[in-house]
Amino acid sequence: MELPGEPSKREVITTYCPANNEILSGPWDRPAAFMSTLLINQPQYAWLKELGLREENEGVYNGSWGGRGEVITTYCPANNEPIARVRQASAADYEETVKKAREAWRIWADIPAPKRGEIVRQIGDALREKIQVLGSLVSLEMGKILVEGVGEVQEYVDICDYAVGLSRMIGGPILPSERPGHALIEQWNPVGLVGIITAFNFPVAVYGWNNAIAMICGNACLWKGAPTTSLISVAVTKIIAKVLEDNKLPGAICSLTCGGADIGTAMAKDEQVNLLSFTGSTQVGKQVALMVQERFGRSLLELGGNNAIIAFEDADLSLVVPSALFAAVGTAGQRCTTARRLFLHESIHDEVVNRLTKAYAQIRVGNPWDANVLYGPLHTKQAVSMFLGAVEEAKKEGGTVVYGGKVMDRPGNYVEPTIVTGLDHSASIVHTETFAPILYVFKFKNEDEVFAWNNEVKQGLSSSIFTKDLGRIFRWLGPKGSDCGIVNVNIPTSGAEIGGAFGGEKHTGGGRESGSDAWKQYMRRSTCTINYSKDLPLAQGIKFQ
């Protein structure tokens, strides 16, 4: 309670870079009167309380909710208005949470994998019940359009469904032994505690990829989401916690420590974190990898992408144009799989650029939670500044902006989706991943040169060609084709399905999440030889007697 004449209570705010979770500015103060304008207190946002959110939310969960760290406020990118507050984890909160998570793991690891799958199934069902409201929160706090926000929750639901089946399939082979009366088997066990650091751009789905698979493998999870999407982290954890509570399981199996670079660094250096999954920038990922490797730990890295679409002279332009549009403009260019380079055969270059420019002009811009909108804001003001800097640099290096290139005259962090032509494929700005809707367009003459251009960037995440030539398709998929982890034909670079392994090569980090055999990243294997005979033959025919 404030007394007359006393200074207003003030709240400490720190701003973080969403690409790497590093501190950009702060701490700084806002008056307490400012907090009355929180969106969560406004009638049109009352639905936020359906997710268990309130004006100030505890950002630590380890079986019980708490948090003794700094209080931050998260903002809506569409209007830069404050949504609600989150109290982050302190160093002591982190240590306590790790301890409880490891204790919970001892219980969880003893539960048979199919039974663990049943719990994950229930988590998927709980997410289904909240899919619209949680998707709306993703749209409000991250800034992506509503269909993408809901789709992101659906992706978590899908990976839960996938993990349920996988829980009855994980395991190793029985191998033939060269020794009579011996069995040779491969045993897979959980690694223990999996740390999961996620980025702002997919604040639900990437955690879901890791969480669902790690859980059925028998691991406990410790999550640190991006500070700018902390409300999403809290809301998702509340849904999971209810399922664990209903099944009389320790909540710390799925722990949460909201925080900034200090918590992320603690996770990277902590020998009690058996595997650290990190999604973010290549720059920070490199630091994470070094810290984890220094303690001989395991890391799973999902880092940047400088992705290309290649359209040959025989390409179906009715596929090329919408694919390039979605891949370059979807999520306002803030996907790791966003198309940033478009290589067009010289015979179709002008026509495709003309069609694409017309398509850009028809993009419906607006509040991301409006159902008919296709294009929303960038996540932060800092991202807008990076966009403007990249456009100016492209001009300096000889590029021509044929569409966009400016900040939109409206509230929030809106920029025009941008097309740049005339640059050399080796230009410095082209080789710099800018998390914004900027598409660099180039002409090429032949297959050999354009395959080389695709591979010349440091990252190796996603790539796609458009052609009807069967031989070219298989050369593209082969050892001298694309060097990326995702190699597509006649579809965009973005929009991966959960059934395949997701990840990339080179500076993208080499990690694989989601489907295929990505589950192996969350387990350790032992080769076991069992002698059930009464003799003791040695391998390789060695006699030792």
Q: Tens digits of per-residue pLDDT, 236-263?
A: 999 999 999 999 999 999 999 999 999 9
Q: CATH 3.40.309.10 region(s) of the chain?
A: 307-498
Mean pLDDT of 221-247: 99
In the 8-state DSSP scheme, what is residue 136?
Answer: H
Task: Name the band, by pLDDT with cuts 50, 70 and 90, for residue 28.
Answer: very low
Count of residues for the chain? 545
The CA distance from 281 to 278, in Å, is: 9
pLDDT digits (tens, 9 = 90+) for 392-427: 999 999 999 999 999 999 999 999 999 999 999 999
Query: Using an 8 Å Cβ cutoff, are 231 and 186 in contact?
Result: no
DSSP labels, 376-444: ---SSHHHHHHHHHHHHHHHHTT-EEEE--SB-SSSSS-B--EEEES--TT-TTTTS--SSSEEEEEEE
pLDDT above 60 for 351: yes
The CA distance from 528 to 488, in Å, is: 39
pTM exceeds 0.95 for this model: no
Query: Using an 8 Å Cβ cutoff, are 437 and 417 in contact?
Result: yes
The CA distance from 184 to 176, in Å, is: 6
How confident is the model at residue 36, as a pLDDT? 58
Q: Kindly compute the dihedral angle of the four CA atoms of residues 206, 386, 359, 403, in this order, to the nearest 10 degrees.
A: -170
Tokens for 87?
A: 């109290």
What count of other Cβ atoms lies within 10 Å of the Cβ of residue 201? 26
Task: Name the band, by pLDDT with cuts 50, 70 and 90, for residue 274.
Answer: very high
Task: Name the band, by pLDDT with cuts 50, 70 and 90, for residue 221.
Answer: very high
Q: CATH 3.40.605.10 region(s) of the chain?
A: 94-303+509-527
CATH of domain 307-498: 3.40.309.10
pLDDT digits (tens, 9 = 90+) for 472-488: 999 999 999 999 999 99
Mean residue pLDDT of the chain comes to 94
In the 8-state DSSP scheme, what is residue 186?
Answer: E
Q: Which CATH number does the domain 94-303+509-527 belong to among 3.40.605.10, 3.40.50.10860, 3.40.50.720, 3.40.50.1820?
A: 3.40.605.10
List of residues 6+ apart from 35 with CB closer than 8 A:
11, 55, 82, 85
Tokens for 342?
A: 């478009």
Q: Catalytic site residues? A: 302
The CA distance from 478 to 457, in Å, is: 18
pLDDT digits (tens, 9 = 90+) for 117-172: 999 999 999 999 999 999 999 999 999 999 999 999 999 999 999 999 999 999 99
Residue reference for tokens 């931050």: 72
What count of other Cβ atoms lies within 10 Å of the Cβ of residue 315? 22
